[in-house]
Chains A and B, each alone.
Chain A
Amino acid sequence: MSGKKVIFDTALRASVNLQSSKLPTELTKSSTALFSALSGVKATLPDLSYDYNALEPAISAQIMELHHTKHHQTYITNLNAAMEKMDSAMMNGDVSAVIALQGALKFNGGGHINHTLFWENLSPNSEYKEGGTLDKALKERFGSKDGFISELTATSLAIQGSGWGWLVYNPKTKMVDIASCPNQDPVEATTGLKPLLGIDMWEHAFYLDYKNVKPDYVKAIWDVINWDTVEARLEAAK
């Protein structure tokens, strides 16, 4: 798993990997065309921009490969299946079926979104820029980079069951903040907060390496954070 070019343009990537919610205006005029535009574009597993072993010893190659090729792939497969069902339900005007699909869409769509964001905010090259946009925002909200790390660590460890810890941008307060979501709930869709950095706290994300010792996993993950991506997301969110 190396040497594959990653599409960095978020808009382009979104249209390839995620079913876009924006449709060309001429299509919205024709409802038949609308429905046919919804189907056909399927979610696909994004390549990692680093090898499976690149994040060792923080996260093992074994976990990276399973996590990427099995867990993330399963969310994508199930998302595509749910979206196909959604297309027919909408085509038939079956409101009840549309509503019944919401759980599967949130779970599998959320799983796809979350993991796509996750791979991108990890990197073997973890360099933090002092004095940059991100640094200033973290100091404004948390006092220091360490203060931020401490708070996101605590929030992530406090999650009961499965979920994610997030550094987010709050468009209302115009400040960064910490959030956590249960299961695969996508943070922006469920709270309006914009995701900047995610930590997967599902047991599959760490169990083979750390067993029940979650604190060691969260401590180690700080060694492999892609701070450039986090900063780019913050700049885009503002």
Chain B
Amino acid sequence: MKLAIASLFIGLASAWSPANDASSSRREAISKTLAAGAALASPLVSNAYSVPDLPYPYEALEPYIDTPTMKIHHDKHHATYVANINKAMEGKEEVPILDLMENALDAGPVRNNGGGHYNHAFFWSEMAPPDVAKKTKPSDALAKMIDSSFGSMDEMKSQFEAAAAPGAVFGSGWVWVVLNNAGTKLEIVGTPNQDNPLMKGVKDEIKFPILGLDVWEHAYYLKYQNRRPEYVSNWWNVVNWDKVSENFAYVSEKKSGVPVEG
């Protein structure tokens, strides 16, 4: 939005620039600027959503998640969801992707592609290179909630890995640590395809993810092939517990999903 306004002013400024002496080119510049102004009057929906940049280089999560997977996963898979949600939302009011989640089940394209965009944006943000990740830890508040909900961090990881096992998540899907709707405990839930627990109707009540893992085959196949359990147990090495703690603080306070970039 800001870029478009800036280009509007630049367009106007160049129309009156002393260097542009020929009146025809000035007329051209003015009419172009007016056209840009008219476009601004309607919502910019064709590029409403975008793939957020990774907060680290593609190779940063090696050896736990390989570089080619990060490239294809981010630049192709996530980009396709973004292109498709933009198409689905053309002509509609521009809202943050988080806002589309509650009623996503109302429309197939929003459920699949809006969900896909939100889930992946959420995913990139909660990971960090291994040497950074290992210095992070759950906040006191989060640690306390993990212990009261699962008994211990190890117990939580164990339950999470069981939920992510090939038999547990049939086909494609995600596994999440969520805060329940009442805000009283953490739970582990699996969702199929690009559903997430923020979507009304996916679980018995809306729940708020603080941590999520993509277990679609495209997330791990190049490096791990069918060895999903190995992918899942390795994944803890790139989890940014500081960000997860921020997520927990946010959802606890706001009783809303974590906003994401893009």
* A contact residues vs B (CB 8 Å cutoff): 66, 70-71, 74, 78, 103-104, 107-108, 160-163, 182-184, 202-204, 207-208, 211-212
A3 to chain B, nearest CB (A): 27
| Complex interface: chain B residues within 8 A of A108 (CB) | 167
Stretch of B97-105, B127-135, B217-225 contacting A (4+ beta carbons < 8 Å): B217-225
Known: A66-B226, A70-B226. Contact between A204 and B217, CB under 8 A?
yes
Number of interface residues of B (CB under 8 A): 21
CB-based nearest B residue for A66? B225
Question: B226 contacts which of A104, A182, A204, A212 (Cβ < 8 Å)?
Answer: A204
Within 8 A of A (CB), among B177-208: 192-194
Known: A183-B170, A183-B171, A212-B80. Contact between A207 and B216, CB under 8 A?
no
Give CA–CA (A211, B68) in the complex, Å: 10
Verify A207–B170 contact, CB threshold 8 A: no
B76 on the A face (CB < 8 A): yes
Verify B167–A78 contact, CB threshold 8 A: yes
| Complex interface: chain A residues within 8 A of B112 (CB) | 160
Known: A212-B72, A212-B80. Contact between A207 and B222, CB under 8 A?
yes
B226 to chain A, nearest CB (A): 4
Within 8 A of A (CB), among B71-125: 72, 76-77, 80, 112
Top 10 closest pairs, chain A to chain B, by CB: A162-B171, A203-B217, A161-B172, A161-B193, A183-B171, A70-B226, A212-B76, A207-B221, A162-B172, A183-B170
Other A-B pairs beyond A66-B225, A103-B170, 14, CB < 8 Å: A160-B112, A160-B193, A161-B171, A161-B172, A161-B192, A161-B193, A161-B194, A183-B171, A203-B218, A204-B226, A208-B225, A211-B218, A212-B72, A212-B76
Verify B76–A211 contact, CB threshold 8 A: yes
CB-based nearest A residue for B167? A78
Question: A161 contacts which of B167, B216, B225, B226 (Cβ < 8 Å)?
Answer: B216
* B contact residues vs A (CB 8 Å cutoff): 72, 76-77, 80, 112, 166-167, 170-173, 192-194, 216-218, 221-222, 225-226
| Complex interface: chain A residues within 8 A of B222 (CB) | 207-208
CB-based nearest B residue for A67? B226
28 A-B pairs with C-beta separation under 8 A:
A66-B225, A66-B226, A74-B226, A78-B167, A104-B167, A107-B167, A107-B170, A160-B193, A160-B194, A162-B170, A162-B171, A162-B217, A183-B170, A184-B170, A202-B171, A202-B217, A203-B172, A203-B217, A204-B221, A207-B217, A207-B218, A207-B222, A208-B222, A208-B225, A211-B76, A211-B218, A212-B72, A212-B80
Give CA–CA (A212, B226) in the complex, Å: 17
| Complex interface: chain A residues within 8 A of B194 (CB) | 160-161
Verify B77–A203 contact, CB threshold 8 A: no
CB-based nearest B residue for A211? B72
B175 to chain A, nearest CB (A): 15
Give CA–CA (A78, B226) in the complex, Å: 15
Instruction: Report which residue of B80, B112, B216, B217 has the largest number of chain A beta carbons within 10 angstroms of its beta carbon.
Output: B217
Give CA–CA (A202, B170) in the complex, Å: 11
CB-based nearest B residue for A81? B167
Give CA–CA (A107, B173) in the complex, Å: 15
Give CA–CA (A78, B168) in the complex, Å: 12
B22 to chain A, nearest CB (A): 49
Verify B77–A212 contact, CB threshold 8 A: yes
| Complex interface: chain B residues within 8 A of A212 (CB) | 72, 76-77, 80, 218
CB-based nearest A residue for B166? A74
| Complex interface: chain B residues within 8 A of A202 (CB) | 171, 217
Give CA–CA (A62, B28) in the complex, Å: 59
A37 to chain B, nearest CB (A): 27
| Complex interface: chain B residues within 8 A of A107 (CB) | 167, 170
| Complex interface: chain A residues within 8 A of B77 (CB) | 212
